[in-house]
Amino acid sequence: AQTVTQSQPEMSVQEAETVTLSCTYDTSESDYYLFWYKQPPSRQMILVIRQEAYKQQNATENRFSVNFQKAAKSFSLKISDSQLGDAAMYFCAYRRGAQKLVFGQGTRLTINP
Amino acid sequence: EAGVVQSPRYKIIEKKQPVAFWCNPISGHNTLYWYLQNLGQGPELLIRYENEEAVDDSQLPKDRFSAERLKGVDSTLKIQPAELGDSAVYLCASSDGTSFSDTQYFGPGTRLTVL
């Protein structure tokens, strides 16, 4: 079975600085998708960024980018120029096809003004 | 475009009482998911629908949980009777299911407290 591990329960960063959240996963599949979701106190899961496993190029969405290391099964999220609105729980997730998302345990990110 | 709608947002009940949650997916989305999120953890799938058919309900505790998706649109998740351990957030998500890469969009969830 696929598993996703986030080893950092909590992280904090100064406003305007850069922070990296870690994620590792375990799968025997070669074709899959990886995601980072943000969950603020409102509980709404918001998609931050996604990566297709067959693509070597790392995905980027404005201030958010990933470092995808397929051989190492690592998928970290880098947030540049951190803003107060980035404070939330961040979940790394794996999915193969149209099946369920498998989530990690989450990392709580705090932004210090 | 309206997102995934869930109601109620909050529900407090006594143990052994029944409870139901409702979800309206994004228009045109054929695939609907119910996830359970315990405090401090990531969501876990309870059931997945393709149109009206439940194609993955392996994690649904069928002795007390039931779900339906009539007409392949709205869905209802029911617990009867509720237990203290059912206190959690119940999330609904939908996707258009047309490609290998379709994205799941989540609703705001229902926070259930069982006393």
> How confident is residue B70, by pLDDT bands cut at 50, 70 and 90?
confident
pLDDT tens for each residue of A80-111? 999 999 999 999 999 987 678 999 999 999 99
| Confidence band of B101 (pLDDT split at 50, 70, 90) | low
A19 - beta bridge partners? A79
CA distances from B41 to A4, A107, B48, B50 (A): 12, 10, 20, 26
Compute the CA torsion angle B10, B12, B16, B17 (nearest 10 deg).
-70
Q: How far apart are CA A104 and CA A102, in angstroms?
A: 7
Mean residue pLDDT across chain B: 92
Measured between CB atoms, which of B45, B97, B105 is closest to A98?
B97
Q: Residue A94 forms beta bridges with which residues?
A: A34, A102
* pLDDT confidence band for A44 (50 / 70 / 90): confident
For B38, nearest residue in chain A (alpha carbons): A105
Which residues of chain B make contact with A33, given a CB cutoff of 8 A?
A: 101
pLDDT in tens, A2-21: 899 999 999 999 999 999 99
Residues of A in contact with B95 (CB under 8 A): 98
